[in-house]
Amino acid sequence: MRKISISNSHLSLSKCAFVLLLLTGITTISCKETFSDLAPTDALSDATAYATPDRVALAVTGVYDAAQTGFYTGGLAAGASRGYPLGAANTELGDNRGEDVIAVPSFYLITYQSTYTVATANNQFYWETLYGLINRANVVIEGVQGAATGGVITPEQALIYEGEARFLRALAHHELLVHYARPYAHTADASHLGVPYRTKAVQGAAAAVEAAAQGRNTVKECYDLLLQDLDFAETNLPATSSTPRLKITRATKGAAIALKTRVYLHQGNWTKVVSEGAKIISGSGTTLTSPIGGYKLTATPEGPFSSNYDNTESMFSIENGAADNGTVNGSISTMYQISPGRALVAISPIIWNDPNWLATDTRRTLLAQNNSRAYFSKKYRDITTLTDANPIIRYSEVLLNVAEATARVSGLTQASIDQLNAVRNRAVTAANQFTVASFATANDLIGAIIKERRIEFLCEGRRWSDIHRLAKDPVFTSNGIPAKVDYTGTTFASWVAASATGYIGARATTAVPYDDYRFVWPIPQTETTSNPVLAAQQNPIY
């Protein structure tokens, strides 16, 4: 387990300030020797964490550690760790907020049925561990800047380290926005409330008091700030790593650009999606590669998962290892896999029976399996030591992000169809591949791209992200949280391969309209208790 040390000066703070410090990561957290070396070391004090180049490197890997496994209900003393926020939880929660999986009672039922409150564990600890990650990033940014000033590391190395921290800070803030705030298009100028965008390290009593009074930035302000972070990351991060594992598990220039295509897609800034995508998409037809980092699709849709630390498609993933993972109660392999996994998240017949997901599509055989009761994902395979990487962004997403944006800007074009086909063709036969004649209008093409996202990223946590960003779309609106299938109301016969009519059974978990307060999560009570400004800015009804 990772070790926590709290200096005596922290103990004189008020209870609320102390809780804030604990939750936002001011306490010194031990770091791994390298991110792929999962044996924890003794905790370093804040005073010595940046005294040598090796210790600076440890502090930076600590930011990745904060992204991978934070504490859960039961607290640090109980050793409760479930892959919060990004080691597994973002995938599991992002899926269960949508309709393309089924929460097998009752592990994710509160999230699945939208019965969360200010005190329910999943949304509470997601907020707390994301802000823990953000504060750890801010501590490291200040630390590496000081180390460069003091001559401990070179200015060039400090910029790389800061780029990594700012990449993770931007990623964390965007995760918060898609769960706790309305989408960018909710108001014409995105002036509605987002989340507090924190750029200062919370270290010491004065900083804790200041942080405890910070309110929510507007959604526009949040997007502007996180794009500044990603621009910085792009400018200063290396194109790749010579070590395959680190190419995937450490932030790179290509990953920063890829994440920008996602963020601009959420903004509805289609031209920026296209221009950012142009930096990392080259080639002709469906043979597309990235000139930065050498990213390309694997030959089959199984590639990013059968070799998830050494493949050409994964642009950034969170590492898990035998000694440090989300445990059997949270790891992605145990949650999604049939026995000996726990099989707590099933593929929904809503997407399994969708006629657009062809019965001959190899993703049905390579990436899914059944236990004679339901179908489940087999993207995550290590049920013994739980080392599966959690995919954050793949090259396939970049291609589909740009395909959608291109169709929205330029209409029914071959370029957009090529980008869609590049992802789809490796799973379907030549007779079923798209041409321009496959679509009557650009909207038909956009609809096909959005459906392809549901198929390609099934059980990767991306469904909620699309429901959120499309909620106010004039054509492709999600209109809120879709109705869902209940596991107890299905039998194995409910799953058929691409039925002509789709799934026609009952959807006992009713839809939640967009205007319903449950479309967004509440700010946790643990936060509003210590921050009166946020208490006054709580999401409505909660």
Distance CA 499, CA 3 (A): 52
Give the pLDDT band of residue 211 (cuts 50, 70, 90). confident
On whether the 96-115+268-477+480-513 domain is CATH 1.25.40.390, my answer is yes
pLDDT at position 94 is: 98
pLDDT at position 13 is: 24
Distance CA 326, CA 86 (A): 10
Residue 9 has pLDDT above 70, yes or no: no
The one-letter amino acid code at 70 reads G
Reduced to 3 states (helix: H, G, I; strand: E, B; else coil), residue 102 is strand
Give the pLDDT band of residue 424 (cuts 50, 70, 90). very high
Token pair listed for 352: 């399994």
Domain boundaries, the chain: 96-115+268-477+480-513
Residue 526 has pLDDT above 50, yes or no: yes
Give the pLDDT band of residue 390 (cuts 50, 70, 90). very high
| More confident position, 513 or 33 | 513
Report the mean per-residue pLDDT for the chain: 91
The string over 475-492, giving b where at least 16 C-beta atoms fall within 10 Å of a residue's C-beta and e elsewhere, is: eeebebbbebbbbeebee
Residue of 126, 75, 67, 133 lying closest to 96 (CA atoms): 126
Distance CA 268, CA 249 (A): 28
Distance CA 344, CA 366 (A): 20
Token pair listed for 113: 């049925």
Residue 78 has pLDDT above 90, yes or no: no
Distance CA 389, CA 91 (A): 11
- Averaged over 346-358, what is the pLDDT? 98
